[in-house]
Amino acid sequence: MSTRPLLTDTAARLAASSRWEYDNLPYWGGEVDCCINSWTLANGLWLGADVEGLATWFVEHRMADGGWNCEWVEGSTRSSFHSTLNALRGLLAHEAATGGTDDTRSARRAGEAYLLERGLMRRLSTGELVAPWVTRFAYPFRWFYNVLNAADYFRAASLLDGTPPDPRMADAIEAIRAERQPDGSWLQARRHPGRVWFEVDVPAGQPSKWLTMYGTRVLAWWDAAQAGKKGP
């Protein structure tokens, strides 16, 4: 069954009727926020919009250290865990849909290296956890970073690339495993602030079916690869 939307003119309708609050920019051209542009890129690919310009935008706005930061427009020159993961999700969607270009594939590799060099959760300078939120799992993920969200990205990238899990993820995987409850579930850490049309997951402190699905498939992917290394 096709996963393409039934309304084939949705992209055109959005282009005609929607613009960004930031400088009234055209919708499918994106704006200045990496996270917004990432999801716009992925959505545009799904809807069949021409978003090649957005894919190029990520190449042009990658930081010298390999990742991205939504605060670049305010002068930031250091990458952000949050922004980098979101940028990677957009670039992965682009590559899955189009094959990507040499430049977009190179940018994705650089962004992945930024996170992997930090074990998905540590400061490169000290080896300490980057912040408490790195092991705080909440669904929906939205733009927020945590190691479960990141590990799920790397699972998807591994499957697309046909490569095994990177061993630099080992500590992050164990941090995910440590949050699994005796019944096999993962608990919702919090509900993100802000108004929503309806809640899509349970209140804080309750077992989350969504987090349990993500946690289970990440560990299954990782553990299967480790078992394969050991052999029969």
pLDDT of the residue at 1: 46
Domain locations along the chain: 17-117, 124-232
pLDDT(8) > 80: no
Contact 32, 76 (CB under 8 A): no
What pLDDT, in 10s, does the model give residues 55-96?
999 999 999 999 999 999 889 999 999 999 999 999 999 999
Residue range 186-214, pLDDT digits in tens? 999 999 888 999 999 999 999 999 999 99
Alpha helices in 9-80 (DSSP H): 10-17, 34-47, 52-60
Strands (E), 117-203: 186-187
| pTM, 2 dp | 0.92
Give me the amino acid identity at 6. Answer: L
In 75-208, which residue ranges form alpha helices assigned H by DSSP?
Answer: 81-98, 102-116, 147-161, 170-178
In the predicted structure, residue 6 carries a pLDDT above the cut 90: no
pLDDT score, position 193? 87
Task: Show the tokens assigned to 28.
Answer: 């499918």
d(CA 117, CA 19): 37
Q: pLDDT of 140-170, one tens digit each?
A: 999 999 999 999 999 999 999 999 999 999 9
Average pLDDT of the chain?
A: 94
